[in-house]
Amino acid sequence: MTKTFGAALVGCGSISGVHLKSFAGLELAELKVVVDTDEELAKRTAQQYGCDYLTDYRQLFHREDVQVVHLCTPHHLHAPLAVELLAAGKHVLTEKPMAQNKQAAASLLQAAAQNPNVQLGVIFQNRYNPASQRIKQFLDSGELGKLICMKGLVTWYRNENYYITPWKGKWETEGGGVLINQSIHTLDLLQWFGGEIASIKGSISNDSLEGVIEVEDTAHALIQFKSGVRAIFYATNAYLQNSPVEVELVFEQGTLYMRGDYLYLRKGDQETMLCEPRVNDLGEKSYWGVSHAVQIRDFYEHLAAGKPFWIDAREGVKALTMVLDIYESSRAQKAVPFLV
């Protein structure tokens, strides 16, 4: 049976396996081709997944058997490649962040708006984690009363070896450090839970990798929401452990506490566990979140139904803007208004 969508993946590095393995469970899509500038890697990946390989993504423009392209390239290539692929009539599912700076983000927003016949999706798989979904239900139902404040903590470890990859650790290609790469997921959850942001004050530093990376390994921020809710946020790559991400939401009538994939509800001295981890069969590291396959399936289901995908360019730019505002605030040493 012919599947509805033929797919390509560009960038056969660390994260690619999580995307590539997801095709085995998809009825709607079939992997046709992988692309990497490293020909040996492209060839090896193609052999492993039983598809064609290419070394130049531009050769995808005229492949009629490819309707959807997954972008798993370095950050600075997401926006320019997505802009060209959208213009060539391909749907694009890009890894986070959708761009590495505001100018690139603006070009992608414009391309998405100018090509309404194709869709752009941005990977933020942690929105699909059962714990995140359950938190969203509490927010929507209002059963714990009003949200008062939140905190987000990311304490991970990335040493010199991680930054051997040439595009990482540099402003021009990675666009930042712990904020734009590792903790953008947690910023995205905070904005998804908290609603519209009024302003952000933050600061960044390089605490453990001076002389190794240009970008920050540590950051903190105070995020002021229009509703009056306040969030505090801390992220570092200088811990010696990849601890589970922690997010806490304090409501009038209880506190939700997410630690990795676990979710607890505290009311007075009583604590109840609400969610346990989903089984991870894609080889995803647990601290990344385990919902890539769920988001990828959801993207194809939206395409098949002809419905706009909900984590699009306008949605993906929110967490990116938080990241870029923390950089700006750190430089200016004052709060910056949040404008998306």
Ligand X SMILES: NC(=O)c1ccc[n+]([C@@H]2O[C@H](COP(=O)([O-])OP(=O)(O)OC[C@H]3O[C@@H](n4cnc5c(N)ncnc54)[C@H](O)[C@@H]3O)[C@@H](O)[C@H]2O)c1
Residue closer to ligand X by CB (options 57, 338) is 57
Residue in 11, 152, 176, 202 binding ligand X, rule: CB under 6 A: 11
Residue in 13, 254, 260, 277 binding ligand X, rule: CB under 6 A: 13
For 324, the token pair is 């870029």
Provide, rounded to whole angstroms, the least separation between the CB of residue 71 and ligand X. Answer: 8
Residue in 7, 8, 10, 215 binding ligand X, rule: CB under 6 A: 10
For position 76 contacting ligand X by CB under 6 A, the verdict is no
Binding mask 261-300 for ligand X (x = CB under 6 A): ---------------------------x------------
The Cα 179–Cα 313 span in angstroms is 19
For 330, the token pair is 């750190």
Count the Cβ atoms, other than its own, within 10 Å of residue 226.
12
Contact (Cβ atoms closer than 8 angstroms) between residue 300 and residue 29:
yes
Provide, rounded to whole angstroms, the least separation between the CB of residue 12 and ligand X. Answer: 5
Give, as ranges, the residues between 170 and 229 that touch ligand X (CB under 6 A). Answer: 181
Distance of CA 233 to CAs 143, 162, 184, 198, 252, Å? Answer: 25, 24, 11, 15, 21
Residue closer to ligand X by CB (options 127, 201) is 127
For position 14 contacting ligand X by CB under 6 A, the verdict is yes
For 57, the token pair is 């993504």
For position 315 contacting ligand X by CB under 6 A, the verdict is no
Residue closer to ligand X by CB (options 74, 177) is 74
Residue in 77, 247, 294, 322 binding ligand X, rule: CB under 6 A: 77
Q: Which stretch binds ligand X (CB under 6 A): 68-76, 103-111, 132-140, 203-211?
A: 68-76
For position 15 contacting ligand X by CB under 6 A, the verdict is yes
Q: Considering only CA atoms, give the Rg of the chain.
A: 20
For position 95 contacting ligand X by CB under 6 A, the verdict is yes
Within the chain, what is the greatest distance between any pair of CA atoms? 62
Residue closer to ligand X by CB (options 75, 302) is 75
For residue 97, give the amino acid letter.
Answer: P
94 DSSP β-pair partners = 71, 122
The Cα 244–Cα 238 span in angstroms is 14
Three-class SS state of 46: helix
| Chain residue whose CB lies nearest ligand X | 13
For position 75 contacting ligand X by CB under 6 A, the verdict is yes
Residue in 12, 68, 189, 319 binding ligand X, rule: CB under 6 A: 12
Give, as ranges, the residues between 23 and 42 that touch ligand X (CB under 6 A). Answer: 35-38, 41
For position 244 contacting ligand X by CB under 6 A, the verdict is no
Contact (Cβ atoms closer than 8 angstroms) between residue 36 and residue 29:
no
Least Cα distance to 259 among 279, 270, 274 occurs for 274
Kindly state the number of chain residues that form the binding site for ligand X, as judged by CB under 6 A. 24
DSSP alpha helices (H): ranges in 31-171?
39-49, 75-87, 102-114, 130-141
Q: Which stretch binds ligand X (CB under 6 A): 10-18, 128-136, 150-158, 260-268?
A: 10-18
Three-class SS state of 18: helix
Phi-psi map region of 301: left, alpha, beta (phi>0 left; psi -120 to 50 alpha): alpha
Provide, rounded to whole angstroms, the least separation between the CB of residue 224 and ligand X. Answer: 27
For residue 332, the Cα-to-chain-centroid distance in whole angstroms is 26
Provide, rounded to whole angstroms, the least separation between the CB of residue 93 and ligand X. Answer: 11
Binding mask 107-146 for ligand X (x = CB under 6 A): ----------------x-x---------------------
Least Cα distance to 55 among 10, 18, 7 occurs for 10
Strands 5-10 and 29-35: parallel
What residues line the site for ligand X (CB under 6 A)?
10-15, 35-38, 41, 57, 72-75, 77, 95-96, 123, 125, 165, 181, 288
